[in-house]
Amino acid sequence: MILQLLLLIHTIQPFLVPICFVCAWAFMSAIAWSLWTAVRDGVETSKRLHQIPCSHCQYFTGDYRLKCTVQPSIASTEAAVNCLDYQPKTNPLLY
């Protein structure tokens, strides 16, 4: 049994270095691809969230208990991007 195992190891030994090389680069490529997709998805989410106009609306209170006096259920969410009740603040010092 041990002789067969030694024969198998000596047979595949010339192929181990190329196989390990390819596996290592495949692993590094998978990590790089994963990081790239995470950054790309994060940028897309950030762009979507920066379109929420609530903080510049006159009905936005800034209080965590009642964020908006008109539409409190959608305040500061993605559903508020096209809010029909949005009114810009008239006093620019309130930003």
CA Rg value for the chain: 29
Q: Which pTM does this prediction carry?
A: 0.62
Amino acid identity, residue 34?
Answer: S
HSE toward the beta carbon, residue 14, CA cutoff 13 A: 2
Cβ pair 89, 55 in contact under 8 A: no
Condensed to tens digits (0 to 9), the pLDDT of residues 19-58 reads: 999 999 999 999 999 999 999 999 999 999 999 998 888 8
76: its two tokens: 């500061």
CA distance 50 to 58: 18
- In this prediction, residue 92 carries a pLDDT of 64
